[in-house]
Amino acid sequence: MQTPMRRLLQDTAPAFSKPSLALALWASAWCSSVAAQTLNLEDRLAAIRSSLVQAALEEPTQVQSTQWIDAKGVLQESSTFRNGMKIRGVRVLAYGTDAQGQPNAKLELQTKSALEKQACSVAAASTLQHVVSFTIDTGGPWSADDAPLVDALRTALNAEWQRASVASALWRLSDRSYEDSRSAYQQALLGNSGDDIPLKIQINVFMGQKKDKQSVVQMRMTLTARNQSKPLAQSILPMVLDAKNSNWGAPQLSDVAMAMLSQQVKAAAQTLQSALACKPVQAEVTQAMGTQVRINMGSAAGVKIGDEWLLADGQKFPQRVLEAGVASQTVLARVQLVGEHFAQLKPVAGPMQSVQRQWSAWSADGPR
CATH topology identical between 130-277 and 282-363: no
The per-residue b/e assignment along 248-273, b for 16 or more CB within 10 angstroms, e otherwise, is eeebbbbeebbebbeebbeebbeebb
On whether the CB atoms of residues 121 and 277 are closer than 8 A, the answer is yes
pLDDT band at 126 (very low <50, low <70, confident <90, very high): low
The pLDDT of residue 83 is 65
Domain 130-277 top-level CATH class: alpha beta
pLDDT greater at residue 230 or residue 208 = 230
Rounded-to-integer distance, Cα 111 and Cα 85, Å: 5
pLDDT greater at residue 18 or residue 183 = 183
Structural domain boundaries in the chain: 130-277, 282-363
Q: Is 247 exposed, middle or buried (0-12, 13-18, 19+ CB in 10 A)?
A: exposed
SS3 sequence of 132-163: EEEEEECCCCCCCCCHHHHHHHHHHHHHHHHH
pLDDT greater at residue 180 or residue 44 = 44
Whether the model clears a pTM of 0.75, i.e. scores above it, the answer is: no
Residue 124 has pLDDT above 90, yes or no: no
Secondary structure element (H or E) that encloses residue 172, with its range? strand 171-173
Domain 282-363 top-level CATH class: mainly beta
Residue 8 has pLDDT above 80, yes or no: no
Which of 21-35, 192-206, 263-277 shows the lowest per-residue confidence on average (mean pLDDT)? Answer: 21-35
> Strand 214-225 to strand 199-211: parallel, antiparallel, or no bridges (unpaired)?
antiparallel
pLDDT band at 156 (very low <50, low <70, confident <90, very high): very high
What are the tens digits of pLDDT across the range 308-327? 999 999 888 877 777 788 88
- The DSSP secondary structure of 265-330, one letter per residue, reads HHHHHHHHHHHHHTS---EEEEEEETTEEEES--GGGT--TT-EEEEE-TTTTTTTTTSTTTGGG-
On whether the CB atoms of residues 38 and 31 are closer than 8 A, the answer is no
Q: Give the best-scoring range by mean pLDDT among 94-103, 220-229, 236-245.
A: 220-229
The pLDDT of residue 239 is 83
The pLDDT of residue 114 is 55
The pLDDT of residue 62 is 61
What are the tens digits of pLDDT across the range 53-67? 887 777 666 666 777
Angstrom CA distances, 46 to 40, 300, 322, stand at: 10, 30, 15
Secondary structure element (H or E) that encloses residue 263, with its range? helix 255-277
